[in-house]
Amino acid sequence: MTEHEKVVLITGASSGIGEATARRLAADGHRVFLGARRTDRLETLAHHITSGGGTAAFQRLDVTSTEDMRSFVAAAREEYGRVDVLVNNAGVMPLSPLEALRVDEWDRMLDVNVRGVLHGIAAALPVMKAQGTGHIVNVASVGAYEVVPTAAVYCATKFAVRAISEGLRQETAGGIRVSVISPGVTESELPDSITDPAAREAMKAYRAVALPAAAVADTIAFAVSRPPEVDVNELVVRPAASAQ
């Protein structure tokens, strides 16, 4: 259990890395505020945390909406009095070759993976600046460092998350901490969004070796738990048995 309890907001908390992070940080003694579109899952998760002695609350959240994100941050502040950490975790990954021209899916990735992060920053940063302290954790991917076939747009969104994070780090140095967590292949529901048949089949082999979501949650917990004078900027975590 931590001696320095924080209020942690987590987007995309209904499954995968977001859910695992909520469980881990709540177990560490932090108060978590959960956001996602699937409120039934959020309710179940919050109940699990609180019945185990932790502190959790939730609100429906669509990160593509600026108003939703502002309301989410305001609700967390009303519930707990402050906002110490925002984990921008929500993401989608409908992979396909560019020649498939799945423009709607490209737009969806840009809306969730890039604009969702920007909306989180826009909502939380003024609160953190007023407090004089805060920590923004952006979940990227190994796709932020390399590009592979069918993943051009997805990787572009994750490159963007790295760039945005680095700019934010430089602009807020000394007050707001900024961390980028880039997982390799991780057990999650992300592949469920792949509609292209060839990309879906290729992903089965690519994901044969995967990290448990809890391993990424542990990495996020490490960054969050550092003392105020330590800013963990980038962490890449991969399955040990994978070259990807």
**Per-residue pLDDT tens for 4-38?**
899 999 999 999 999 999 999 999 999 999 999 99
Listed in order, strand segments (DSSP E) in the chain are 7-11, 31-36, 55-60, 85-88, 134-139, 176-183, 234-237
Range 167-192 average pLDDT = 88
Is residue 142 within 8 A of residue 238, CB to CB? The reply is yes
Residue keyed to tokens 């901490």:
177
Distances (CA, A) of 154 to 47, 172, 186: 33, 27, 15
Residues 180/183/189/49 CA torsion (nearest 10 deg):
-70
Q: Within a 13 Å sphere around the CA of 80, how many CA atoms are in the beta-carbon half?
A: 21
> Is 244's pLDDT higher than 60?
no
Q: What is the pLDDT of residues 182-233, one digit of tens each?
A: 999 887 666 667 776 767 666 666 666 779 999 999 999 999 999 999 999 9
Residue 145 among the catalytic residues: no
Query: Would you state the pLDDT for residue 208?
Result: 64
Amino acid occupying residue 136: I
Q: Within a 13 Å sphere around the CA of 70, how many CA atoms are in the beta-carbon half?
A: 5
Which is catalytic among the residues 80, 145, 154, 206?
Answer: 154
**Contact partners, residue 192, CB within 8 Å, separation at least 6:** none
pLDDT > 70: percent of the chain: 90
d(CA 5, CA 53): 14
Indicate the SS3 state at residue 212. Answer: coil
Query: Would you state the pLDDT for residue 209?
Result: 73
d(CA 55, CA 93): 31
Q: What is the pLDDT of residues 28-81, one digit of tens each?
A: 999 999 999 999 999 999 999 999 999 999 999 999 999 999 999 999 999 999
Distances (CA, A) of 226 to 3, 31, 46, 85, 185: 12, 17, 25, 12, 25
Query: Would you state the pLDDT for residue 205?
Result: 60
Is residue 59 within 8 A of residue 71, CB to CB? The reply is yes
Range 146-163 average pLDDT = 97
Structure tokens at 234: 């980038």
Structure tokens at 204: 């089965």
